[in-house]
Amino acid sequence: MTAFLNGIPVAVAPAAHDTTHEDTGGDEVSVVGLSGLLADDQHVLDAEALAAAVQSGAITNGVTKAPTHDAVFDVKATADAAQTAAEVDADIATHAAIATVHQDAPALIATHAAIVAAHHAQGSATKEFFVPATFGTTPAIKASYPGFTIDGGGVRAAVFFGVPNDFSSITDAVFVVAANSTKTHRLSLVGGYGQTGEGYLTHNESVNNIDTVMTSDNLYEIDITGALSALAANDYVSARIEGEVTNTPNIHVLGIRFKYS
């Protein structure tokens, strides 16, 4: 520091005044507005520390919490439970597969229903049997076919049989006949039937005046289901076929073919 004495510059040691440049001193020095880092480490302001702690989650409800063993364990457990990218992709694929199953459900249900129906149909398949003519007015043999001839009004043949225990309904029931001449043959059918303990004619039905054009020596089927409308399992049946005066028939009766489910 330089002073002047009688106009002559004289070096003078300054008085100690460092305290005037300190905090609250008369000539306090401020670093506000300066750039760069100070040479000495600086303490962190309480407000700054608080803000940083809140942002990091170290402070809850205004209380600073040190990282305890439990907190560290919780972080580890959370990290261990986190899914990898591959696991996430696998979950997405599984979800997509489940969605596909839901979308395909109607088709799968329809397929299952069809399978059930097929099994049901197989279990209730049509069954059949043939019963030769049991008795009649005129026994006869046509070539090698035994049976009964109907060649006039009131001439008849009949078949006796029992309805099977597994019977549910008639699919088809016909008299099988062979024509002895080419012409129109008029026939009438009668069905009498009942069960054990009932009258043998509890049911007595007829279908009359059926005209059928036939060619000599050909085989034909004459439907008798109309005379068996109330047939039930275990019924005993007497089915009769007979000729009419008009369009007098000339046929050879072989028996009955019976189909049922």
Is 105 a domain residue? Answer: no
Domain enclosing residue 138, as ranges? 128-260
Cα angle 190, 193, 195; round to 5? 180
Q: Under a CB-based contact definition with an 8 Å cutoff, are residues 2 and 11 in contact?
A: yes
Q: Please list, residue by residue across 132-151, b when 16 or more beta carbons sit within 10 angstroms of its beta carbon and e when fewer do.
A: ebeebbeebebeeeebbbbb
Same domain, 160 and 256: yes
Neighbours of 231 (CB within 10 A): 20
Q: Give residue 188's pLDDT.
A: 98
CA distance 103 to 152: 70
Same-domain pairing of 140 and 210: yes
Residue 156 token pair: 């008849």
Instruction: Select from 12, 39, 66 the last residue of a domain.
Output: 66
| Percent of the chain predicted with pLDDT > 90 | 51
In the predicted structure, residue 246 carries a pLDDT above the cut 70? yes
Higher-confidence position of 76 and 212: 212
Say if CB 190 and CB 204 are below 8 A apart.
Answer: yes
Could you report the per-residue pLDDT of 160-183, keeping only the tens digit for each? 999 999 999 999 999 999 999 999
CB atoms within 10 A of CB 163: 19
Residue type, 174: V
pLDDT surpassing 80 at residue 124? no
53 and 139 co-located in one domain: no
Predicted confidence at residue 243, as pLDDT, reads 97
End-of-domain residue from the set 48, 66, 84: 66
pLDDT band at 81 (very low <50, low <70, confident <90, very high): low
Residue 76 lies in a domain: no
Rounded Cα–Cα distance for residues 110 and 112 (Å): 5
Residue where one domain finishes, among candidates 38, 66, 94: 66
Distance separating alpha carbons of residues 205 and 227, to the nearest angstrom? 5
pTM above 0.85, yes or no: no
Number of domains in the chain: 2
What are the pLDDT digits (tens) for 177-224?
A: 999 999 999 999 999 999 999 998 899 999 999 999 999 999 999 999
- Let me know how long the chain is: 261
Please report whether residue 204 resides in a domain: yes
Q: Kindly report the CA angle at 155 between 149 and 156, in degrees rounded to 5? A: 75
pLDDT attached to residue 194 = 96
> Percent of the chain, pLDDT > 70?
68
152 three-state secondary structure: coil
CA distances to 40, 147, 226, 248 from 137, rounded to whole Å, are: 140, 10, 23, 15
pLDDT in tens, 8-54: 665 656 666 777 777 777 777 777 777 766 666 665 555 666 566 65
Q: Output the CA–CA distances (angstroms, integers) from residue 1 to 8, 22, 45, 191, in the order listed.
A: 14, 21, 37, 151
| d(C-alpha 174, C-alpha 256), whole Å | 6
122 lies in a domain? no
Are residues 57 and 137 located together in one domain of the fold? no
Rounded to 10 degrees, what is the CA torsion of 209, 215, 221, 227?
Answer: 10
Asked whether residue 71 is domain-assigned, the answer is no
Q: Average pLDDT of the chain?
A: 81
